[in-house]
Amino acid sequence: MSEPLLGLVTGFLFGFLLQKGGVLRFDRQVGALLFRDMTLVKFMVSAMLVGSVGFQLLAEAKLIAMNHLAMNVGGVVLGGLLYGCGWAIAGYCPGTAVGALGEGRWTALFAIAGMLAGAALYAEAHPALKVTVLAWLNLKSLALPKLLGVSPWMCIAGLWGAGIVTFVWCEFKKV
């Protein structure tokens, strides 16, 4: 199977699961941010827990190559918080905006248009950000096990522990 076709099939299955999980909707995205409807968190964290085990097994068998995105501290923290501010108002992330459109939420088109504008705006701001926020502290590509000096499986156990505590909290609070 060719690379684009592979992407299409993977995307189809992923979009199907996102829709079936009920996480594409604005109400669910913002509901999670308000801690009132944690469907999105249950979906995402479940995926993370399962994926972390599989990725580690595949990486140890040298069947995949991990690719850690750069940990540029200023960029990740400020950009991440800024992302959150926009997300709470748009109610979609780039991927779920595309999925929400497939579900018939047509104003997601405006979110998509806004995201394209945001990318262009960032390109304009990039030279200034490069010598300021992005120049503060760049830890580059960094994995948690390396940072902590422990086995990846310890980190995965910790991730599962945190995930299960989150799930228990959600079920206990009935959110």
Partner 1 sequence: MRRRGRDKTWNPYLAGALAGLLAIGSAYVTTRVTGRTEFLGASKTFVRVSAALERAVLPARVAKSADFKDERLKTDWQLMLLGGLFLGALASALTGHAFEWEGVPELWRHRFGPGVLKRAAGAFLGGAVAMFGARLAGGCPFGHGLSGVMQLSVSGLAASLCFFMGGAMVAKYLSRKGDRYE
Footprint (CB under 8 A) of partner 1, residues 99-138: 99-108, 110-127, 129-130, 133-134
CB of 111 to partner 1, least distance (A): 4
Based on the shown chain and the rule CB under 8 A, indicate whether residue 94 belongs to the binding site for partner 1: yes
Based on the shown chain and the rule CB under 8 A, indicate whether residue 87 belongs to the binding site for partner 1: yes
Task: Determine the Cα–Cα distance for residues 160 and 149; give it in Å rounded to an integer.
Answer: 19
- HSE, CB side, 13 Å, CA atoms: give it for residue 107: 6
Task: Determine the Cα–Cα distance for residues 109 and 129; give it in Å rounded to an integer.
Answer: 28
Six token digits for residue 25: 């909707």
Based on the shown chain and the rule CB under 8 A, indicate whether residue 10 belongs to the binding site for partner 1: yes
Binding to partner 1 (CB under 8 A): which residues in 140-159?
141-145, 147, 152, 155-156, 159
CB of 62 to partner 1, least distance (A): 10
For β-strands 138-141 and 70-72, DSSP reports them as antiparallel
Based on the shown chain and the rule CB under 8 A, indicate whether residue 52 belongs to the binding site for partner 1: yes
Based on the shown chain and the rule CB under 8 A, indicate whether residue 89 belongs to the binding site for partner 1: yes
Six token digits for residue 82: 């800024």
First to last CA, the chain: 42
Based on the shown chain and the rule CB under 8 A, indicate whether residue 17 belongs to the binding site for partner 1: yes
